[in-house]
Amino acid sequence: MSITYQHGSYKEKLFDERWKRKRQEILERDNHRCVICGSNESLVVHHKQYHFVSRLGVFRDPWNYKNKYLITLCKSCHERGHYKFDVPTKHI
């Protein structure tokens, strides 16, 4: 799934300082370890779901999620998860 935001792409938003702070917060919460396999290499912070704000017609910015919707995964577990499952989109 490719998410496009009103002002730029999802990948561009990952360079925003707000995302960098949120990412660091999640990594620290998860002790810099993949929550599935325990690896501490090639870590990513994964959104368990995306939120589409219907009244605005845009997706929520990646840093504007409650922490319970974010988890730390290693690259391998992240890729395997995306291969097996689509990340659900919730219309809010």
4-13 pLDDT, tens digit each? 444 568 789 9
Q: What percent of the chain has pLDDT over 90?
A: 71
Tally of domains in the chain: 1
What integer is the mean pLDDT of 16-31? Answer: 98
Containing domain of residue 75, as a range? 4-91
pLDDT for 8 equals 61
CA distance 55 to 42: 37
- SS3 for 35? coil
Q: What is the pLDDT of residues 43-57, one digit of tens each?
A: 999 999 999 999 999
pLDDT of 23 higher than 60: yes
pTM of the full predicted structure?
Answer: 0.83
